[in-house]
């Protein structure tokens, strides 16, 4: 039976942020004074537990900002690429309240009557949270003010300018090093322990190392390998610990999917940290309307094409793949494809026959069922646990860091990437073969990758994309790769050859009928019936400017489903960063805009 952690935060954590007299100040008058609260180990635990913030089920929608999903939502990066972005209309993100709460704890924790080990454990957790806070700020703004202590209204640093990226990142790394040395392994279920800290340590080191390597505007390429080395070292420590393993019961058709539709991840060997849900405890994980359906998001065809064939060859090297139908696309593919996306023949509860994908304007026709509860049981709908940190990420980080360093060996691949492939019955990745024949599909995506490890590095990037698809990592990956231009490609959907009848369930029998704009869709009694005695589902097909129900690239002549047509422009390097909101610059003129933002 899963354990649940519920916390009572008695301190006020909604303090005024921004550059005013209260920013980073001592402690709010509505809070308990530190000398009255920070007395025992229990006090430290209570405060730190109040800082707990874990990604949840809505993380499955975070890839809306990437090339993995099409979306009708107003995601920031899409608005930036199609509008006129500036510091007056991009105003979110500059929020320092959480940092103030963390620093408040760190300044007062040492006065507690507790063992040094206990104090350093809770300090480590707080510094881990501070590292996460600043990593988000660096990823968004690059140079930001670094504050590792509370300030009074008279402190000059309250209105200082940006500290350099190097300064802030050094602070992050110091926090993570301290946390990795002092946070306990044995912690309450659902809270970060030592291994969770180490995973994030490796994650950030990989991010920063690759970002510096592929972003010339920072002029920090010479320091990139230091971070890549740290990423590989920390990953190896986790691997050598023997504490975790890839979840593999010998069922390649289901083991991967089981990670994301589990009611209890407590004993899963792969999960390092998870967010526990239970509708009975007023913690519902039910996001089915967002993950599955035509609410805001739908998987992109580019993601579908990224998956390999089941024999390890590239799907995009198959003759005519550009015009493969939905049914053809899923034949003989990496099992993770149909454990992530709805496949022809999939049955949705409580139905007994195969699901026919619903086509809709601005959507791709593909459906996600990773993280989806295929059940009508309300308790199960709300009880899926979310895997926050997976051991799979450790293996991916290890392999990528070594490949970037140019030191990756076949033994390294066998101890990392090939364990992921083995879980789903995929052939092993071979370093010499990959480097000898880099896949043109991947080379075209990442033209800035070069050197003798090009082929295997590209395959590791592919592996990361498919293994962690729709878990919310893709946008950050594109940013650190320096691959923002890929976001200019408008997501496409299923391919249809034109008007006519089409099979979407894989049984060879038509399910839907596309007709032209001028046709009348007949009443149910007059609709065409297929061999199973089922009425075909009719859609009017045309271009995005026509009064139709589905948009095709070439209208009545067919093509891929169209999600939108507004041109996108990703300006490099500017759009890898965000401006400081104009209100904050007005309050503190020392906060200068960088990378061309105004």
pLDDT at 289 (0 to 100):
62
Q: Give the C-alpha separation, 210 to 482, whole Å.
A: 9
> What count of other Cβ atoms lies within 10 Å of the Cβ of residue 189?
14
What are the pLDDT digits (tens) for 171-189?
Answer: 999 999 999 999 999 999 9
User: What are the distances in angstroms from CA 110 to CA 45, 124, 184?
Assistant: 13, 12, 18
Mean pLDDT to the nearest integer, 2-24: 36
Q: How confident is the model at residue 154 (pLDDT cuts 50, 70, 90)?
A: confident
Model confidence at 32, pLDDT cuts 50, 70, 90, reads low
Q: 347 is written with which tokens?
A: 């049955």
Which residues on adjacent β-strands are paired with residue 492?
562
Gap between the Cα atoms of 121 and 141, Å rounded:
30
Sign of the torsion angle spanned by Cα atoms 63, 555, 525, 327: negative
How much is the pLDDT for 4? Answer: 36
Domain extent listing, the chain: 277-384, 498-557
Of the pLDDT bands very low, low, confident and very high (cuts 50, 70, 90), residue 285 is confident
Higher pLDDT, 419 or 6: 419
Does residue 577 have a pLDDT over 90? yes
Which residues share a beta bridge with 368? 341
Greater pLDDT, 290 or 444: 444
pLDDT at 562 over 90: yes
Q: Taking residues 535-541, what's their average pLDDT?
A: 98
Q: What is this structure's pTM?
A: 0.94
For range 341-353, the mean pLDDT: 96
Q: What is the pLDDT of residue 39?
A: 93
Q: What is the dihedral of CA 65, 70, 73, 79, to 10 degrees?
A: 60
Task: Check: CB of residue 287 under 8 Å from CB of residue 296.
Answer: no
Q: Using the predicted structure, report yes or no on whether residue 354 has a pLDDT greater than 90.
A: yes
pLDDT at 286: 72
> In this predicted structure, what is the pLDDT of residue 280?
75
Q: How many residues does the chain have?
A: 598
Q: What 3-state class would DSSP assign to 432?
A: helix
Residue 188 CB coordination number (10 Å): 13
Q: What's the pLDDT band for 31 if we cut at 50, 70, 90?
A: low
Task: Give dist(CA 179, CA 149) in Å, integer.
Answer: 17
Alpha-carbon distance 150 to 99, whole Å? 9
What percent of the chain is modeled with pLDDT above 70?
Answer: 94
Give yes or no for residue 7 having a pLDDT over 70: no
Per-residue pLDDT, 436: 97
Segment 451-476 mean pLDDT: 98
Q: How far apart are CA 592 and CA 142, in angstroms?
A: 12
Distance from the Cα of residue 362 to its chain's centroid: 23
Please report which confidence band the pLDDT of residue 153 belongs to, taking 50, 70 and 90 as the band edges: confident
Compare 202 and 288 and report the one with higher pLDDT.
202
398: pLDDT strictly greater than 60 = yes
Q: Residue 367, class by beta-carbon neighbours within 10 Å (0-12 exposed, 13-18 middle, 19+ buried)?
A: buried
Q: What's the whole-number mean pLDDT along residues 216-221? A: 98
Q: How many CA atoms lie within 13 A of 391 on its CB side?
A: 24
Location of structure tokens 């993280």: 371
Query: Model confidence over 379-393: pLDDT tens digits?
Result: 888 889 999 999 999
Stretch 34-44: mean pLDDT = 90
pLDDT of amino acid 23 = 41
Supply the pLDDT for residue 36. 78
DSSP state at residue 309: B
By DSSP bridging, strand 537-542 and strand 512-515 are parallel
Helix (H, G, I), strand (E, B) or coil at 226: helix
Residues 63-76 pLDDT 10s:
999 999 999 999 99
Round to whole Å and give the CA distance between 338 and 197. 32
Asked if residue 1 has pLDDT above 60, the reply is: no
If DSSP codes are grouped into helix, strand and coil, which group holds residue 278?
A: strand
pLDDT of 5 reads: 35
DSSP letters along 23-76, please?
TT-S--TTSPPHHHHTTBHHHHHHHHHHT-----GGGGGGGGGSTTEEE-S--H
pLDDT in tens, 356-367: 999 999 999 999
SS3 144: strand
310, pLDDT greater than 70: yes
Mean of per-residue pLDDT scores for the chain? 93
Instruction: Report d(CA 537, CA 356) in Å as an integer.
Output: 9
pLDDT above 90 for 292: no
pLDDT digits (tens, 9 = 90+) for 236-248: 999 999 999 999 9
pLDDT the model gives residue 11: 35
For residue 251, pLDDT over 70 is answered with yes
């Amino acid at each position: 039976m899963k354990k649940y952690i519920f916390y009572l935060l008695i301190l006020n954590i909604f303090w005024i942020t921004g550059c005013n007299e209260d920013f980073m100040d001592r402690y709010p008058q509505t809070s308990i004074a530190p000398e009255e609260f920070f007395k025992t180990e229990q006090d430290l635990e209570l405060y730190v537990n109040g800082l707990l913030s874990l990604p949840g089920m809505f993380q499955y929608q975070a890839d809306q900002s990437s090339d993995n999903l099409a979306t009708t939502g107003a995601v920031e990066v899409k608005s930036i690429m199609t509008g006129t972005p500036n510091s007056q209309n991009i105003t979110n993100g500059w929020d320092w309240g959480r940092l103030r709460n963390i620093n408040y704890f760190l300044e007062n924790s040492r006065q507690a009557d507790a063992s040094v080990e206990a104090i350093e454990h809770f300090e480590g957790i707080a510094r881990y949270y501070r590292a996460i806070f600043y990593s988000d700020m660096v990823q968004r703004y690059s140079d930001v003010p670094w504050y590792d202590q509370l300030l009074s209204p008279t402190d000059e640093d309250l209105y200082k300018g940006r500290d350099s990226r190097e300064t802030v990142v050094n602070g992050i790394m110091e926090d993570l090093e301290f946390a990795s040395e002092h946070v306990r392994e044995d912690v309450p279920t659902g809270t970060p322990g030592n291994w969770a800290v180490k995973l994030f340590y490796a994650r950030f080191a990989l991010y920063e190392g690759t970002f510096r390597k592929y972003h010339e505007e920072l002029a920090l390429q010479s320091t990139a390998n230091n971070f890549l080395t740290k990423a590989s070292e920390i990953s190896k420590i986790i691997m050598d610990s023997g504490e975790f393993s890839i979840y593999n019961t010998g069922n390649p058709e289901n083991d991967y999917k089981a990670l994301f539709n589990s009611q209890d991840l407590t004993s899963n060997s792969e999960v390092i940290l998870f967010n526990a849900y239970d509708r009975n405890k007023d913690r519902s994980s039910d996001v089915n309307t967002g993950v599955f359906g035509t609410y805001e998001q739908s998987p992109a065809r580019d993601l579908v094409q990224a998956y390999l064939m089941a024999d390890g060859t590239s799907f995009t090297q198959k003759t005519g793949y550009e015009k493969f139908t939905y049914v053809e696309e899923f034949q003989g593919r990496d099992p993770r494809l149909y454990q992530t996306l709805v496949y022809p023949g999939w049955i949705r509860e409580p139905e007994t026959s195969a699901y026919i994908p619903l086509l809709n304007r601005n959507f791709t026709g593909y459906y996600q069922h990773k993280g989806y509860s295929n059940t009508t049981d309300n308790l199960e709908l709300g009880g899926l646990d979310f895997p926050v940190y997976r051991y799979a990420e450790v293996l991916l980080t290890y392999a990528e860091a070594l490949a970037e360093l140019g030191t990756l060996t076949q033994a390294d691949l066998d101890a990392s990437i090939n364990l992921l492939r083995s879980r789903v019955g995929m052939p092993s990745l071979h370093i010499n073969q990959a480097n000898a024949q880099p896949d043109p599909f991947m080379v075209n995506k990442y033209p800035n990758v070069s050197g003798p490890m090009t082929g295997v590095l590209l395959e590791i990037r592919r592996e990361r994309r498919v293994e962690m698809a729709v878990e919310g990592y893709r946008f950050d990956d594109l940013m650190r790769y320096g691959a923002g231009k890929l976001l200019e490609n408008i997501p496409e959907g299923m391919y249809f050859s034109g008007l006519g009848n089409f099979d979407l369930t894989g049984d060879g029998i038509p399910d839907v009928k596309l007709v032209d704009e001028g046709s009348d869709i007949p009443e149910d009694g007059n609709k065409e019936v297929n061999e199973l005695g089922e009425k075909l589902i009719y859609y009017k097909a045309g271009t995005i400017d026509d009064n139709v129900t589905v948009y095709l690239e070439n209208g009545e002549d067919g093509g891929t489903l169209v999600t939108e047509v507004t041109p996108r422009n990703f300006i490099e390097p500017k759009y890898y960063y965000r401006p400081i909101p104009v209100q904050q610059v007005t309050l503190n003129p020392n906060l200068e805009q960088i990378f061309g933002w105004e």
